[in-house]
Homo-oligomer: A and B are copies of this chain.
Amino acid sequence: MQGTKKISSAVIKRLPRYYRYLGELVEGGVQRISSKELSSRMKVTASQIRQDLNNFGGFGQQGYGYNVKYLYDEIGKILGIDRTHNMIIIGAGNLGQAIVNYTDFEKRGFLIKGVFDNDPQLEGKEIRGMRVRMMNGITEFIRDNNIEIATLTIPKNAAKEVSSLVVQAGVRAIWNFAHTDLNLPENVIVENVHLSESLMRLSYTIANREQSEHE
């Protein structure tokens, strides 16, 4: 993958959104799209689109536009979803169940191999055909199933201990929904989803709008 090394993190953050729009175009049978057309769909300037996509070695051709499927596949490769990732979910509460039940993740190659909890009342409960397992077998499970990603949908006070445990067992990446930062070795990849923080950004925007409305 030449030319992909110095892509700014701002561009990287935008790639999943391009991927989503391109995926919808692929599903709709659209073969080519101009930066202008894509611009009006995505509400981003055409020049931003050209700049962003030029990072990947110029998929666009003057007067022809982008080849949708090609661009979709290439961005998929860059995002690392041209292959599968084995994943477990730790925490079988509502949020964990929501993730197991959301089948789009599997379509993107994130294969949910197991669901874990420490509540004995949940043991054996079926979620989308998968039985909830207890935490005591988790180390072996991670090793035997080549688990790469652990999703933490557990309370914050348990998150540090559990994340250390699964990293020791071989997990390389944590998708963290617990409302705390995990202090893990640098080589472990952590992607946080802090819902409270998202909600505070929302209320910030509300407060700020009101302020400017009253000025």
Contacts and interface: CB of A to CB of B under 8 A. Distances in A.
Interface string A1-27: 100000000001101110110000000
A98 B105 contact: no
B19 A200 contact: yes
A131 interface: no
A201 B98 contact: no
Interface stretch (A60-68, A75-83, A138-146): A75-83
Interface centre among A17, A94, A195 (most CB of B within 10 A): A94
A207 interface: yes
A191 B202 contact: yes
A79 B203 contact: yes
A189 interface: yes
Nearest to A204: B79
B204 A78 contact: yes
Contact of A205 (B1, B16, B101, B189): B189
B79 A200 contact: yes
A80 B195 contact: no
Interface of A: 1, 12-13, 15-17, 19-20, 42-43, 78-81, 85, 93-95, 97-99, 101-102, 104-105, 108-110, 148-149, 172-173, 175, 179, 181, 183, 187, 189, 191, 193-209, 211
